[in-house]
Structure 1
Amino acid sequence: MLTPGHMSGRWTSLFCLLSVLCALFTPAVSVKEHDFKKCDQSGFCKRNRAFADQAVASSSWHSPYNVLPESKSFKDGQLQATILKTINDNGDTVRLPVTISFLQSGLARVTVDEEKRQKKEIELRHDSKARKERYNEAEQWVIVGGLALDKGAKVTYEDKSQITVQYGPTSNFEAVIKLAPFGIEFKRDGKTQIKFNDRGLLNMEHWRPKIEPPPEPEKKEGEAEQTEEEKKEAEKKEEERKANEPKGEDESTWWDESFGSNTDTKPRGPESVALDISFVGFENVFGIPSHAGPLSLKETRGGEGKYTEPYRMYNADVFEYILDSPMTLYGSIPFMQAHRKDSSVGVFWLNAAETWVDITKAAGSRNPLSLGTSSKTTTHTHWISESGLLDVFVFLGPRPEDITRKYGELTGFTAMPQEFALGYHQCRWNYVSDEDVKDVDRKMDKFKIPYDVIWLDIEYTDEKKYFTWDSHSFPDPIGMGKQLDAHGRKLVTIIDPHIKNVDNYEVNSELKSKEFAVKNKEGNIFEGWCWPGSSHWIDAFSPAAREWWASLFKYDRFKGTMENTWIWNDMNEPSVFNGPETTMPKDNIHYGGWEHRDVHNLNGMTFHNATHHAVESRKPGEHQRPFVLTRAFFAGSQRVGAMWTGDNQAEWGHLQASIPMVLSQGIAGFPFSGADVGGFFGNPEKELQARWYQAGAFYPFFRGHAHIDARRREPYLAGEPYTSIITAALRLRYSLLPSWYTAFRQAAVDGSPIIRPMFYTNPTEEAGLAIDDQFFVGNTGLLVKPITEKDKNSVDIWIPDSEVYYDYFTYNTIPTVKGHKVTLDAPLHKIPLLMQGGHIFARRDRPRRSSALMKWDDYTLVVTIGRDGKSAEGDLYVDDGSSFDFQAGQYIHRKFVLDGAAGAISSVDAEGRDPKTVKEGEWMAKMHDVTVDKIIVVGAPASWSKSKEVTVESEGKTWTASVSYTPAAKGRAAFAVVKKVGARIGADWKLVLP
């Protein structure tokens, strides 16, 4: 059978065409699961799972890892020691340095390395350029702060068996380090929260030389038989070889491993790291995106309603991914949290290699003093990575917001996007010409449908050569860009990491001549297959390669682009059509001599980072915040852009799955996320399309997208009543953009999720911990539960508290009971959206065609009076929506308070800033003309009916504003509207209530 490596010329083009056609016309039934490994097909996962089975099954099991007592030392918040791993029955050991760091942030970090490897050179077959030591550079890419040591940490107890360290901002955290066998128990306020190696599953596969069994000597005619001495020498060598093989293990995948038609060579041999981490008393664990399953992670060792495979983190191009599965997807964040009524904790597993996580749960024994109730379930997790260090951060909470904030301090908070990025994005594979783009733009205006961005997939290029345009279909990209710019709209073009390997293509020539491409195991430029056919991949780990990459985006090189052109990074897992599991061979070599296996999950992030830098620097003084979308990601990717959940399908199940997937991204520190609205593959029925837009209006990243084979489905093509329903959802999104932007600001400052699951907002309510089909938007009090089922005209919303709730559209007071569900009517035109009492949020109510055209519009404030009948509060953040001037204080951040006792609604600076300390720039000066136009008070008391006007006080002036009052009737709350308030949005003001 011919393979890509055997073909050239027109046969290469034919193969590429056939590959693409095969991809396009594969029936949309299910992902080809056999193209991706299961645990027992991954040598290191299989070995570690077998290791775990052996340990758990044996009542006499003892972990072979013990701390050498005389090696331990503690200084300035850091404990260092040496772990001895016993590797055979002869008592031979391997030395593993361990460092336990206690940080000022309250985190603890546990790092285990392998002592400098034996001086004897590892046999590097094929003249491999791979580095010998374990990969130790993930921190350079991921960690941006929070590593300062807690020099106030102290040893409070020590004996021959353990050492206890007290640490944390209030010294209420403890780490009990057990020496034999090695393990750690993390406590808060004296109660155990997390245990390391409690079940004895710690396993670091140490380096060993490869000892080939001696070949049978070829017996020559007349040659004497092997002497006894020679036989003994051969047997001795064989015993030495077996001594280095862990007992009961299969050596067959130590030095190479085959899957399908690919063989992965392993010049360093087996080097996996594994650890069991137990969350004591926690039944629910969350995180480790991305997977198409529930928010509360399932068990993985079989049984009814459970998975049989571990969760896998190995970024891959998973064609038409299946639902309710632990199989790998496009990106990975190895950050897990556990939550219960009175506690939130977490761990961050800093390892960029292929990683698997098993999850099991064990119920506690019955407590005779607890009146028949059982003690809480403990969740056991087993983390397994192919290579690298064992490097784990421990978070002891106690609240969900403590976990996300500390994680953000460690890996960075989400980048503050331009405001247009929060609007609606219109995309498909592919708009066929610049005239097609302009026609879509005109028709969106004709039908009065707001949008901000239109996207171009790979077909805009000249034969899949990035940084070029197809001169026949896109002869005038500048004219296209100018038409979009006239309406405040943007263009996004796709740029992938694979570079077409063809002559007379300048980018390819430079990539090769400068040696900026990923290399194969022989040290030559790696050649693989993707959309262009034969391709090379930029190695974005190289600083010089990143600077070269940045040069390609400058306007004089990427001709046809303008200041309103932004970028989409796809296929950056990386996707390699003819590679193992549709990705890059693990024995490829990156900058610094590291094997691809060591950095695989980082790869997409490095490319995303390189593109972010390129866009930011494409013109001196441009000073615009970049917008770059990525498909592959890792911890820290949130610092440089947005992500989407990949190639979903136009099915109800995929709409339903999108909500826990996006929620999972948010709690894992990457909240700027969304799913392809309408589904990428297939053709959604009209009801599904409408419901998906209603859900998508509440994704942080809101984009409609479709496959090249899908029918055109721009909103104006849906027909009535669907076009009107979709348009209403889009207009709702645009009216709420001020509140969305405020939520993004909070995420950028403290790591808060933008859309928030029930366990985050109401962590004391155990019944809500696993709910993943409804959520709050920022701090607005807006509670939404999208309809995700066919022919569904009502919805049950779980109420997490005793507050009053109002219907967003009708102001009806919803009869609710804390901890119970309430049923709401939700015909096709209706989004189930409630307003929680006690909040104030901002809108802009004038319909516009794009967010740019709303920039100087006045604001509406919506006040939802709480159950106490007299209080509410909220905030609003505003800046110029595009530049970095906010970093110099050029922003408005207001806090709004309704104080019924004081009889006023007021606005003050949310951060207590003195306006005299901020020198106003052009944007802030122009904002003097932007005011609060009206205030809607839902749940207004009857006393408001007695007055037709209220007094407004601001900036030394006093005036009146008119009030209209509508009394309560037929379930609807009373409400009042204060019109033409007239106070500057950026000024202090007070509205005196009737």
Structure 2
Amino acid sequence: MTRLFISLYFASAFLSPLIPVHGVDRGNFKTCQQSSFCRRCRAMEPSNSAYELLLNTLKVETSSVEAEMVNTRNFARFKFQFYALIDGTFRMKISELNPIKPRYEVQDALVGEPLLEKLELLDRTAEKVSIKCGPNSATITAKPFRVDLHDQNSLVISANDRGLMKFEHYRLKTPQSDVEEGGEVEHVPVVVDGDLGDEDGAWEESFKSHHDSKPHGPSAVAMDFSFPASESIYGIPEHADSFSLKSTVDTDPYRLYNLDVFEYELDNPMALYGSIPFVIAHGAASSVGVFWHNAAETWVDIKSKGGEGSSVVGGAAAGVVSSIVNLVSGGSEGGGGQEGSRARSNVDARFMSESGLIDVFFLMGPKPLDVSRQYAKLTGTAAFPPYFAFGYHQSRWNYNDQEDVKNVDESFDEHDIPCDVIWLDIEHTSGKRYFTWDKVKFPNPKEMLDHETAKGRKMVAIVDPHIKRDGGYFLHNDAEANDYYVKNKDGKIYEGWCWPGSSSYLDFFDEKVMDYYSARYLFSNYVGSTEDLHIWNDMNEPSVFNGPEVTMPKDCLHSGGLWEHRDVHNVYALMHVKATMDGLLKRTDGRLRPFILSRGHFAGTQRFAAVWTGDNAAEWGHLRISIPMCLSLSIAGIPMCGADITGFFKFPTAELFIRWYQAGAFQPFYRSHSHIDTKRREPWLMGDEALRLSREALRIRYSLLPFWYGLARQHEVTGAPYMRPLWYHYPTERATFNIDSEYLLGDSLLVHPVTEAGARYVTVHFPGEGKDIWYDYFTFERMPEGATQIPVTIEKIPVYQRGGSIVVKKERIRRASSLTHNDPFTLVVALDAKNEASGMIYLDDGQSYEYRDGKYIELFLNFANDKFTSRVVNVNPQYTTKERLEKVVIVGIAANYTKAEVECQEFGKVLVDCVYDDQTQVLVIRKPWMNMGSPWSLQLLK
């Protein structure tokens, strides 16, 4: 939800940059040129690095290399640390050796302190040191400083290869060597850069009517990374742009700064609600990742051969375009890197942050799945969603009252439409006071929730971080009395404007505040809530309507003044959802899995919350861009992603409404949401055809809930996202590198949503280069190889199943997913060229954490030599199920079988009938009826 241009709330002089009704006001948001630290970093010339390691200080330990570093221009000194980590990854940290004040190190993005691995010293000379860890090695060159990382014998990443490193140490504005402190003279090491002047915004800066005091002066850090073995680069969400990152030679860099952007534009690098400073660079030979562990405002320059030029969203790339010679301002010279490496590197990235440390993780792959696993070991996998989370969510700003909620609920049943969750936006509260209910509109919330629970449904309520400044509001009074609020630069409580009017913001970087806030979710504190009420954390960038760039001033203070907001801005939302997760766990003593949705996000957010793409519009372009936006989030560790179905702003045509429901059915998070000023758009209000086809899309989604749930389990174990780009499983196929109009779900389904008005054809690229077979998911027709024009009617959803995969379904569609728990399965077995296929089923109670104690069943399914077998993977499962196998559909089988012999522990051997269609080459086996919790086999007989 975003701001309205409504005088009802803000007819006040406090709102200096009012937000326009239509379209983003770009003047409210900085460009790189308007950001002094971005200007300074970007103005650096390549191959002119000032940084050197002092190898006479070098220490090689069991798992690390450490040395002092010096800036040869101003003689500032730094501490260099390089670590070997488990799973073939490396970490590099550069910090001030003797800082005037501490530099902020990001907290809570990592799942824990990374585990070290033993390294081997390969070589040590007066110029460099080389180490090895597993199959990977690193060479650290002293002068000029550079780090080269090799996979086997191939150079895959170079840090500071172009010599664009920058580390602005803390310093005193007026140079002096002695500072009086408490009556004593304290020696302070002072080093001053001659190229820093007041006019450059180093010590203070203004944007529009807002002034940033910068009490600690310039503090930017930056470094460039080259990827000689890669051809394209992806990641750094969140941006409404193509999946393959574009070259920023002639544009602003990509910006990572959590912002509430009204009606964001498409196909540009402007900052949005979340910031994940992580990239995957990919080439036909390998994939690698770089995670820039920094929470400050960050700009990222990209040189990408694969991403140059305009967006390729909407179709497959014909090939890889020509190489770009320069990155931003440089020529072909490098920073003293390996001979010829600059000429070979088609992909470069340069990260530039306003403050913090240089703290970088190098993920060495070499396969995309390896990079996902390595990143997941650092930042964690997504919170395992409860089963209902993959169902359909119905939201609006706002459902008016309890009667409105009841009518919407009953209308889903009346029109035979499945739905799992009904959402409540801010109007359900008492005057925008969170953890309260409007006593007139929602007089008995527990009764309302119990009604939904009795029907198998859940509810979600919004809880934002801004706190209404009201003496009659318990939360505000507690926050003021106990010093829980963020402070302004003068140490007084910061006041901004948001939905309630005058608001203050909880300081989630204080442990006392985290404990207090999480306790608000206890049933005794959040009166009217139940365990079936889940939470939506919105506006947590944080959004401040009258703040600079619609957010909190950078010189606000956290943790008793220890950190400025500039240091921690991009992790504010992370801390918010962490506190929410802790609270939802506490309310059931850690028994039940919560569901949380967050708009703001950073690396690690996936451990607590799902994410959506924010306040989009009912336009075809926003439907189109939802695919690359969710792909970018997926590979950056946040797999539970979706867009507001049919668009938050404006009103969709019937065709767009249908196509969005169809597309959303094949994205992880499936929610319809709309603006308070738009017409109601529940499916039964959109005309007969829209009702019929949106209902059909929803029924398809519900049939596949076991498939989605299996993807969630696979992600938890391996780190692999639910949505995957084609190159994830076809890494050598260059034709897939720029495709973001279609994607894979797991390794089984290929989805190409229709995203253009009046489309009669879509061009689908079937990967595999003739080695894989693809079948139409609905008709079982075998598809041709490569890029193919597919005719589409308004009913057609282009979805295809890979030969060699098994898709798990439940075909009895009920009003909510909880009512299908004991329903039988259908297995769709699509055969490959060897007449084989494999897959998995994951079963647990769908709601608790008991699976961590062994209360689950994981089945490996395999079809080979005309025999279908199921094997229980986990040893001594503590879980039992009533679910049975109702139907097996074998696709692409050439022989006519009339019988199948079923063998299982429950009833031994029995024969069941088969029905074969020689036109479609599909064999159907009905009601073999084995229990899915134990091993079984099914042998085909002629």
Could you tell me which of 225, 232, 254 is aligned with 1:277? 225
Q: Confirm or deny: 8 A CA contact 2:303 2:324 kept in the other structure.
A: no
Could you tell me which of 69, 82, 85 is aligned with 1:103? 85
Q: Offset of 1:444 from its aligned partner?
A: 0.5
Q: Offset of 1:186 from its aligned partner?
A: 0.7
Q: Offset of 1:480 from its aligned partner?
A: 1.4
1:763-782 to 2 correspondence within 5 Å?
763-779=731-747, 781-782=748-749
Could you tell me which of 55, 65, 74 is aligned with 2:60? 74
* Cα distance between partner residues in 2 of 1:421 and 1:785: 23
* Cα distance between partner residues in 2 of 1:848 and 1:737: 12
Q: Confirm or deny: 8 A CA contact 1:364 1:376 kept in the other structure.
A: no
The aligned residue for residue 891 of structure 1 is 856
The aligned residue for residue 210 of structure 1 is 173
Q: Confirm or deny: 8 A CA contact 1:863 1:937 kept in the other structure.
A: yes
The aligned residue for residue 102 of structure 2 is 133
Could you tell me which of 781, 788, 809 is aligned with 2:755? 788
Q: Confirm or deny: 8 A CA contact 2:172 2:190 kept in the other structure.
A: no
Deviation string for 1:297-327 (max 9, x for gaps)?
000111xxxxx10000000101111000111
The aligned residue for residue 158 of structure 1 is 124
Could you tell me which of 821, 833, 844 is aligned with 1:867? 833
Could you tell me which of 592, 612, 631 is aligned with 2:581? 612
Question: Structure 2: where are the runs of 5+ without partners?
Answer: 1-6, 177-188, 306-322, 326-341
1:177-256 to 2 correspondence within 5 Å?
177-211=140-174, 244-247=192-195, 251-256=199-204
Measured at CA, do residues 22 and 178 of structure 1 come closer, stay the same or move farther in structure 2, by a change above 3 Å?
A: closer
Query: Structure 1 residue 65 and structure 2 residue 51: aligned?
Result: yes
Greater C-alpha radius of gyration: 1
More helix by share: 1
Could you tell me which of 870, 891, 913 is aligned with 1:963? 913
Identity %: 42
The aligned residue for residue 599 of structure 1 is 568
Measured at CA, do residues 661 and 635 of structure 1 come closer, stay the same or move farther in structure 2, by a change above 3 Å?
A: same
Measured at CA, do residues 626 and 361 of structure 1 come closer, stay the same or move farther in structure 2, by a change above 3 Å?
A: closer
* Cα distance between partner residues in 2 of 1:713 and 1:361: 41
Q: Confirm or deny: 8 A CA contact 1:493 1:568 kept in the other structure.
A: yes
Query: Structure 1 residue 491 and structure 2 residue 459: aligned?
Result: yes
1:406-417 to 2 correspondence within 5 Å?
406-417=374-385
Q: Offset of 1:148 from its aligned partner?
A: 2.3
The aligned residue for residue 21 of structure 2 is 27
Measured at CA, do residues 514 and 965 of structure 1 come closer, stay the same or move farther in structure 2, by a change above 3 Å?
A: same
1:729-740 to 2 correspondence within 5 Å?
729-740=697-708
The aligned residue for residue 247 of structure 2 is 299
The aligned residue for residue 339 of structure 2 is none
The aligned residue for residue 932 of structure 1 is 885
Q: Offset of 1:34 from its aligned partner?
A: 0.9
Query: Structure 1 residue 444 and structure 2 residue 412: aligned?
Result: yes
* Cα distance between partner residues in 1 of 2:81 and 2:21: 52
The aligned residue for residue 371 of structure 1 is none
* Cα distance between partner residues in 1 of 2:657 and 2:575: 35
Q: Offset of 1:504 from its aligned partner?
A: 1.1
The aligned residue for residue 502 of structure 2 is 534
1:568-607 to 2 correspondence within 5 Å?
568-591=536-559, 593-607=562-576
1:306-455 to 2 correspondence within 5 Å?
308-361=251-304, 363=323, 377-455=345-423
The aligned residue for residue 843 of structure 1 is 809
The aligned residue for residue 257 of structure 1 is 205
* Cα distance between partner residues in 2 of 1:246 and 1:720: 71
* Cα distance between partner residues in 2 of 1:617 and 1:448: 36
* Cα distance between partner residues in 2 of 1:99 and 1:417: 37
The aligned residue for residue 84 of structure 1 is 70
Q: Confirm or deny: 8 A CA contact 1:72 1:81 kept in the other structure.
A: yes
Q: Offset of 1:206 from its aligned partner?
A: 1.7
Amino acid at match of 1:15: A
* Cα distance between partner residues in 2 of 1:434 and 1:784: 38
Q: Confirm or deny: 8 A CA contact 2:130 2:140 kept in the other structure.
A: yes
* Cα distance between partner residues in 2 of 1:251 and 1:115: 28
Amino acid at match of 1:323: L
* Cα distance between partner residues in 2 of 1:634 and 1:459: 28
Q: Offset of 1:243 from its aligned partner?
A: 8.8
1:752-831 to 2 correspondence within 5 Å?
752-779=720-747, 781-801=748-768, 802=770, 803-814=772-783, 816-817=784-785, 820-831=786-797
The aligned residue for residue 924 of structure 2 is 977
Query: Structure 1 residue 15 and structure 2 residue 11: aligned?
Result: yes
Q: Confirm or deny: 8 A CA contact 1:361 1:377 kept in the other structure.
A: no
**Structure 2 counterpart SS, 1:942:** coil
Deviation string for 1:404-430 (max 9, x for gaps)?
001001111111010011100000100
**Structure 2 counterpart SS, 1:466:** coil
The aligned residue for residue 216 of structure 1 is none
Measured at CA, do residues 17 and 256 of structure 1 come closer, stay the same or move farther in structure 2, by a change above 3 Å?
A: closer
Query: Structure 1 residue 115 and structure 2 residue 97: aligned?
Result: yes
Q: Confirm or deny: 8 A CA contact 1:456 1:492 kept in the other structure.
A: yes
Q: Confirm or deny: 8 A CA contact 2:84 2:117 kept in the other structure.
A: yes
**Structure 2 counterpart SS, 1:721:** helix
Q: Offset of 1:279 from its aligned partner?
A: 1.0
Amino acid at match of 1:453: V
Highest RCO, 1 vs 2 (Cα 8 Å, sep ≥ 6): 2
TM-score, L = length of structure 2: 0.92
Amino acid at match of 1:201: L
Q: Confirm or deny: 8 A CA contact 1:555 1:619 kept in the other structure.
A: no
Amino acid at match of 2:400: V
1:695-714 to 2 correspondence within 5 Å?
695-714=663-682
Deviation string for 1:21-44 (max 9, x for gaps)?
976xx433x211110100010110
* Cα distance between partner residues in 1 of 2:16 and 2:666: 34
Amino acid at match of 1:211: T
Q: Please, which moves more after superposition, 590-599 or 579-588?
A: 590-599
Q: Offset of 1:797 from its aligned partner?
A: 0.7
Amino acid at match of 1:790: A
The aligned residue for residue 505 of structure 1 is 473
The aligned residue for residue 121 of structure 1 is none
Query: How many residues matched?
Result: 887
Q: Offset of 1:14 from its aligned partner?
A: 5.6
* Cα distance between partner residues in 2 of 1:487 and 1:375: 64
* Cα distance between partner residues in 1 of 2:112 and 2:444: 46
Q: Offset of 1:269 from its aligned partner?
A: 0.5
Q: CA RMSD in A?
A: 2.1
**Structure 1 counterpart SS, 2:195:** coil
1:473-492 to 2 correspondence within 5 Å?
473-492=441-460
**Structure 1 counterpart SS, 2:138:** strand
**Structure 2 counterpart SS, 1:285:** strand
Q: Confirm or deny: 8 A CA contact 2:297 2:354 kept in the other structure.
A: yes
Measured at CA, do residues 147 and 882 of structure 1 come closer, stay the same or move farther in structure 2, by a change above 3 Å?
A: same
* Cα distance between partner residues in 1 of 2:9 and 2:681: 31
Query: Structure 1 residue 464 and structure 2 residue 411: aligned?
Result: no
Amino acid at match of 1:673: C
* Cα distance between partner residues in 1 of 2:13 and 2:642: 31
**Structure 2 counterpart SS, 1:70:** strand
* Cα distance between partner residues in 2 of 1:866 and 1:618: 49
Q: Confirm or deny: 8 A CA contact 1:747 1:753 kept in the other structure.
A: yes
**Structure 2 counterpart SS, 1:467:** coil
The aligned residue for residue 185 of structure 2 is none
Q: Offset of 1:144 from its aligned partner?
A: 2.0
Could you tell me which of 120, 143, 150 is aligned with 2:110? 143
**Structure 2 counterpart SS, 1:518:** coil
Q: Please, which moves more after superposition, 108-117 or 445-454?
A: 108-117
* Cα distance between partner residues in 1 of 2:295 and 2:267: 24
* Cα distance between partner residues in 1 of 2:131 and 2:193: 37
Q: Offset of 1:976 from its aligned partner?
A: 1.3
